[in-house]
Structure formats: structure tokens, C-alpha cells
Amino acid sequence: MITLAEIKNKLAGKCTAHVVGGGNSGRAVIKLLNSYGVPLVFHEQKEEKLLPEFKRFLQEQNIPCFFGEHKKENFSGCDIFIPSPGAAIAQFAGLLPETALAVSETEIAYLFCDGTPILGITGTSGKTTTTAVCSEMLKEQGLNIFTGGNIGTPLSEYALKRLENPRSEKADVLVLELSSFQLQTCNALPVHVGICLNISENHLDYHKNMQEYTDAKMNLFAHQTDTDFAVLGQDIAHLANEYGFKAKTIVFDADKKNFPKTKLLGQHNQSNAEAAWQACQLFGVSFENARKAMEKISPMENRLEFVRELDGITYINDSKCTTVTALAVAIKAVSEAEHPIILLAGGKFKGGDLAALLPLMRGKVKHVALYGGSREYFENAWKNHLSLSYDEKLSQALERAKQTADKGDAVLLAPATASFDQYASYIARGGDFKNLVRNLK
């Protein structure tokens, strides 16, 4: 097993790092390593996706670039391989030299973070909200924090700022949302406090099976010691023994309601808050400051986000609902607020048991307005049990939902799918929904 010091020594020894992908993390780590003087090679399948200013940067810095299909000869001389979080490691099998070390952008960035403690958050659902809640609780306590990773800003941006200006403000805690994609290539990331909220079927179009997906999630805890802490949901508490955790394990109670005064809908957000509280008190956060933070925080964009009330009908955007499990959470949350639901669903189906949701949906979901891709999956599971309609476009389905809804109902966009049938991302899907809703008359 390689250590952080050994990785940094490799970089200092002018080994060559190959970076795949020109997204946020790829751009950030290229700039960080270029500033440190590491020889770099850049790979991107779709040259047309590159931001013009980043393309100019690559040219000005004379960084070799390969565009199009990934080929073995293009990875010749690769010592450290830094993949885009969206690039499955399996697709590079046979392309890399046997001696190449795959390292995540997050782990590379941490080499330049002066040992600042990490609060890492993962899980199939709820991790972005929990990350935001952790950040608010720590800030309410007066701590200076960096929040990023899979949410918003890559850690490499913070690391570059610190590298170029060591006198710049230093974080007391790095609050990092970490996906299975990022964790899969973490070799030695020392997470002081790690949270794993839950694990359910997801990303099996990326991971070869649930075992690989779970292994990646558990890598959050793999490099902890007995001075560190692992905060786990009750349903996955058994994994601490199965994976031989060295850290002290804390199992949070998902049914607790310690923070009833909040704008965040649903018991699942009480659960997220409880996980955040269990973690943040380890950094000295008082319960009073945790409570204040929960009263202040607003729903994250695209996560059970209130959009508008029109003619007594509430419109809610949960575009981040990309799995069947997340749909169950959304239905529970909205029905707890005593709103009968008109559900908007459809898109690129990622798997899961839709029929298993029927007991939950009966009496809560008045109508399902399907749109876009995967029509057959939803209809096969629900057509004999629920009122269904289908339209090709979200705009058409929304209009149908508006006509179907009565005063007191909620029109809920909770697609249970990826967005890639019609949208570039769940963010674009949510943005379109909000624009459509705001234009309703």
C-alpha cells in the first residue's frame, strides 16, 4: 500500500502525470500540478467540450494533449494516472503501463493541504445535503472551512491557492463530499471523520457490481486510524466489522428529530442532520450552534426545492432524484407535509425495483405524468395500479400535471432516473423545470 508521502515524492521526482477529462476536477488538478512543476499529459475524448480558456492554457503551457478515443500508445510513460470522476477505471484496463498508479484528483490535492483534517461524506443519497449541513454547523461554531469535492469546488482549487500563496486563509476543516468514483482511486486519503449515510443500488452502469460499488464507498474509511471516527447509518453499521474499520464507529439514529425547526422537508433530512451533528460535535460544535445552523439552512437546489405555489398547488423540484431509492425518499417527504402528489417521472433509467414502491405510493400519489425515456419500465411496473399518462417532453407532462392537480396538491419532479435522455445533467433538467413552472399561468 502506497502512502501520501510516497505519492508526493513521485511528483517531486518529476514523474509524468496523465490527466483524463477537462471537467472541473480535471482543469483544477492540471493547473495545480503545472504550478508544482510536474510534467503533464492531458487526455479528452471530446475536444469540442473544452472551455476555450482552458484550451489556451494547455497550449500556452505546452502540455501535450490527446483527443478522441483513448489508445494505449498515448499513455506511454504514464507514472501517475488521474482520471475524471466520470471515467470508469475499467475502461482503461490494458491501456496503462503496469507501473502506473491511479490517484484521484482529491487525493492529489490533499498533498498540498498542510494536513488539514478532513470531514468526508459519502452515501448513495443525501450526501450533498449532509455536506451542506456539516458546513453550516461548523461555520456557526466559528470555524473556517473549505467545502467541496463532488459538490461545487474541486479540492485542487483550494490547494492551488495555498500553494501559490501560503499566507492565504487556511481552512480549519476540509468538508468534502466524496462519490464512489472519487473514492475508488483514493490510495491513502486520511479522513479524520467519515460519514457514510446509506448504500443502495446505484451507478451499476459505472461499477461492475454492487460489491465494487460498496468497496469504493468503504474506501472512505480504509486509511483511518484509532484516533479517527466513522459515522454510519444503522442499515450499514455491520460494514464496520466486515471491512475491519480501525476508527471508532458511531452509528447515528435515523429516526431522531433533534432539529424540528428547519426548512428542509422530510424525515430523511432529520436523519441527514443527525449524521452531520454526530460528526460535527467531534470538531467542537455545540448542540446550540448545530440547532441554529439547521434553522438557517435552506433546501439545496434540485433537492426537494420549493419552486412556486400557484392556484393552491405547490411545485417542487427534486431533479437530483436519480434513483428508485431517492424517489421513495421524495414521496415520503412530500406526503409528510400532507400534500397529495402529482408525480413527474422519466429519463434514463439506472435500475431498481419500481414495483416495490407501490405500497408507498398508494394513497399518496394521485397521478404519474411520465415523460421522456424509460417509459416501458414505469408502465410495466405501475400501469395496473396507478393513474398514468405519458408525454414526450417535460413541458407537456408539466402542463398535464397542472390540469390534473387540485388545490392542496404538490406537483413533484422526482424522475428516479438520470437526465441524459433529454438533458446534459440533472442540474439542466431542474433548471428547465423551474423555468417552466415560473412561466405557468
107 secondary structure, DSSP code: H
∠ CA 169-172-178, rounded to 5°: 105
**Pairing relation of β-strands 305-310 and 313-317?**
antiparallel
Alpha-carbon radius of gyration of the chain? 23
**Angstrom distance (rounded) from CA 96 to CA 274:** 43
% helix, strand, coil for the chain, step of 5: 40, 20, 45
Cβ atoms of 378 and 386 closer than 8 Å: no
CA 6 to chain centre: 29
- Stretch (H or E) spanning 9: helix 4-12
- All three cell numbers of 314, joined, read 405547490
**Annotation-wise, does 127 bind a ligand?**
yes
∠ CA 330-335-340, rounded to 5°: 110
- All three cell numbers of 74, joined, read 498515448
**Angstrom distance (rounded) from CA 29 to CA 232:** 30
**Angstrom distance (rounded) from CA 173 to CA 176:** 9
**Annotation-wise, does 129 bind a ligand?**
yes
Cβ atoms of 20 and 200 closer than 8 Å: no
**Annotation-wise, does 125 bind a ligand?**
yes
92 secondary structure, DSSP code: G
Closest CA to 25 of 182, 133, 134: 182
Annotated binding site: which residue ranges? 123-129
Annotated binding site for ATP: which residue ranges? 123-129
